[in-house]
Structure 1
């Protein structure tokens, strides 16, 4: 006998803790400042990776990181409006590096394009 049936939801959300994550942080600060991102729809999300190699493959070599548990990352991010947690995003939007006709250059923050886990 099955206690839980997901007839309406063929892929139920996984609520298993991800374990210690490699979390992108802002460099050059005495305290740890977690770097937040935006989903493709614009929602703020904290991001964690299951390995340093995955972080480097997505954000580039030499990116600063710290190790945090999923619960610690959520506790740091939720009070500042990032209630989503994206684990191991694989794609990011490229930064804008040049413009036509001498217009000002702007930078676009990377946006993980994965399904985000929610609490």
Structure 2
């Protein structure tokens, strides 16, 4: 049987095609068994982006071991996020900022008698 180029072959012969990503998700209202939602992130400039990782190890290193994920092809991830206006996919992001913490209230200014 002749091997077809990737563009024409619905199931490429490679075990893990290049476009298959580990995509972080969050549970839906009834947990992940009935539907997960793709997590969206922000770029350093504030634009929303979908995120995918090329390995489970990279996802865990960036988001932690408790992060739920699904395997999705890059075109499927684009199709899921396009209706939300998200057109960017960030692959293997390296830098993440810690979660925002509430700032301690500033001390009240001292009143001067005058």
Tell me the TM-score normalised to structure 1 length. Answer: 0.66
Secondary structure at the residue paired with 1:71? helix
Q: Which has the higher strand share?
A: 2
Tell me the TM-score normalised to structure 2 length. Answer: 0.69
Shift of 1:18: 4.2
Secondary structure at the residue paired with 1:33? strand
- Asked whether 1:46 is paired with 2:72, we answer no
- Shifted more, 44-53 versus 28-37: the winner is 28-37
Q: How many residues align?
A: 86
- Asked whether 1:22 is paired with 2:22, we answer yes
Runs of 4+ in 1 over 2 A off after TM superposition: 96-99
| Residue number in structure 1 paired with 2:80 | 76
Shift of 1:96: 2.2
Q: Distance in 1 between matches of 2:46 and 2:80?
A: 19
Q: Deviations over 1:48-93 (max 9, x none)?
A: 0000110010011120000000000000011101100000001111
Please give the root-mean-square deviation of Cα atoms over the aligned residues, in Å. 1.7
Give the greater-gyration-radius structure (CA).
Answer: 2
